[in-house]
Amino acid sequence: MGVPIAALPLLWFAFHVAKSGGNLAAGRLVDRVGTRAPIFVGWMMYAAVYLGFAFATAAWHAWTLFLVYAVFYALTEPAEKKLVTQLIGVDRQGMAFGWYNFAIGISALPSSLIFGGLYESFGPAVAFGWGAMLALAASAVFTTVRPHL
């Protein structure tokens, strides 16, 4: 997309600054409004960012989408972690966080392999479209999840 290789560390730095600062603000938001809206909005943003990446062609697209991607993380990370505590109850939170992180970690490799295969075989529109479709499907399933109160 035209982002110089030398600028990639700066792009990642901007991403992490936006994500970290956003985590603080979103954590306060989650404490006020709960977990459902930030997660749902975040996953919708993820789908939109992936659709954006599917058709991005310029360096400014990459910068903009990457910063919006940071907002997705900022919204969802604190809310997802709080939701884990709500779903499991207080007596097994350590185990719940272990399983939560295990599930994220173990799914990363096959997810990346599928994405890479789609990208190599069919191009960015299909690969990023697949990611956006999965985010939309996860959002639909999420609407059926009810926390343990």
Task: Measure the N-to-C terminal CA separation of the chain; round to a whole number of Å.
Answer: 47
Q: Are 76 and 38 in contact (CB under 8 A)?
A: yes
The pTM of this model reads 0.86
Nearest-angstrom CA–CA distance, 72 and 23: 10
The structural domains of the chain, ordered by start, are 6-142 (1.20.1250.20)
Q: Are 39 and 83 in contact (CB under 8 A)?
A: yes
| Tens-digit pLDDT string for the chain (149 aa) | 889 999 999 999 999 999 999 999 999 999 999 999 999 999 999 999 999 999 999 999 999 999 999 999 999 999 999 988 888 877 888 889 999 999 999 999 999 999 999 999 999 999 999 999 999 999 999 888 776 55
Which of 103, 34, 105 has its CA nearest to residue 75? 34
